[in-house]
Amino acid sequence: ASEIIPNFLYLGDFQNGSEMSQLQALGITHIIDATNEHYSEETAKELSINYLPIDIWDIEKADISQYFESTNEFIQSAKDQNGKLLCHCRAGWSRSPSIVLAYLISSRFSASLKEALIWTVSQRPFVCPNNGFRDQLRCYETKILGAQS
């Protein structure tokens, strides 16, 4: 898993979300599972980790923006509880990064999409939200910040 916000927010793939030893070593208390397969569900139950499944396909026409508010709230809740959160999808390069980028853009950080993407890619180089997700992130950026970067 890649550390996006030190000692708090991690981004990864489905293996990161189901490897008990890694989750325990990182002290993960919350998981957002942005796959349709719910890879982390059993592991989260077993380790008493707060678990939020997001059913979304990694296709351009999928509406990931419908989840931004609920995922932002879940991430903020983990932060408020001094928890550690792993957001993952299957490969960790489109769906879960889109959720993390939305959080970084949200009013809690007020990063532009460009700033958030540069930072996230610096921590996890193969991050590449699909074009549909990028368009939705641009719209979200305008909604939150009033302009696009």
pLDDT tens-digit profile of 10-40? 999 999 999 999 999 999 999 999 998 888 9
Quick: pLDDT tens for 51-84: 999 999 999 999 999 999 999 999 999 999 999 9
- Mean per-residue pLDDT over the chain, rounded: 96
Output the pTM of the full model: 0.95
- What range defines the domain where residue 66 resides? 2-145
| C-alpha distances in Å from residue 11, one per residue of 31, 85, 139 | 10, 9, 23
Report, as residue numbers or ranges, the catalytic residues.
89
Q: Give the domain CATH number at 40.
A: 3.90.190.10
Closest CA to 94 of 111, 66, 71, 117: 117
Overall number of domains in the chain: 1
**Helix or strand run (H / E) with residue 32:** strand 30-33
Strand 85-88 versus strand 2-5 pairing type: unpaired
Q: How confident is the model at residue 107 (pLDDT cuts 50, 70, 90)?
A: confident
